[in-house]
Amino acid sequence: MQWSSSAFVLAVVFFSTHASADPVQKSEDIVKFFAGAADLGKSRGICVGSEEECKSKSKAGDAAGQKSGLDMLINFGLNSAELDTTARAELGEFAKALKDNRLSTFNFVVEGYTDASGSARYNEGLSQRRAQSVTAFLTASGIETARINAIGMGEKNPRSPNPYDPVNRRVEMRIKTQ
């Protein structure tokens, strides 16, 4: 079974702090993002042309509001897998989006991550608990269990080069492909 490449990263990324948190992502925006993610041409970001032409096209896409990922900022405290009020609001919108007919055929992998605090073994377990916490919320919100697979990734693939940075304490959801 193949997992989706970074082209399918929801990058519903759950960070550990709300310092730069955007307002709650609306379910319609989530649906539109995933519906667009199914179009491999747009998601892969392949450009034919000179380096300057490709950079120009990329900047034009950024200016038009095209995003490479969909981020929702959720607070995971140090050594915690508890969802706070903001996390629940964000995940409520995500659950609403997953119930939309346009996403009814999509399945997801929920990947939990940690920073480097703690031993590798402890962090594997904590990352799994974080992924399960999100999965439990989604299934309690009416999403079929078969559509979501929780995986603990531990300290792998940090978002920040500083292994102790709180942004590494997160959960990412990806479209599951076959």
Band (61; pLDDT cuts 50, 70, 90): very low
Torsional sign, CA 117, 123, 126, 128: positive
Query: At residue 25, does pLDDT exceed 50?
Result: yes
Whether residue 46 has pLDDT greater than 50 = no
**Residues whose CB falls within 8 Å of the CB of residue 80, separated by 6 or more in sequence, listed in order:** none
- Residue 162 makes CB contacts below 8 A (sequence gap 6+) with none
Helices 85-98 and 120-140 sit at what angle, rounded to 10 degrees? Answer: 60
d(CA 129, CA 77): 13
Query: Is pLDDT at 4 greater than 60 in this prediction?
Result: no
Rounded to two decimals, what is the model's pTM? 0.71
Q: Which residue has the higher pLDDT, 62 or 140?
A: 140
Query: What is the average per-residue pLDDT within 40-68?
Result: 48
Q: Of all helices (H) and strands (E), which one includes residue 150?
A: strand 148-152
Residue 34, pLDDT > 70, answer yes
What is the C-alpha to C-alpha distance for residues 175 and 15, in angstroms, rounded to an integer? 19
Model confidence pLDDT, tens digit, residues 90-124: 899 999 999 999 988 889 888 899 999 999 999 99
Q: Is the pLDDT higher at 31 or at 177? A: 31
More confident: 63 or 28? 28
Instruction: Determine how many CB atoms are found less than 10 A away from the CB of residue 158.
Output: 18
Contact between residue 128 and residue 155 where contact means Cβ atoms under 8 Å apart: no
Q: Which pLDDT band holds residue 28 (cuts at 50, 70, 90)?
A: confident
Q: Quote the mean pLDDT of the chain.
A: 75
pLDDT band (50, 70, 90) for residue 10 = very low
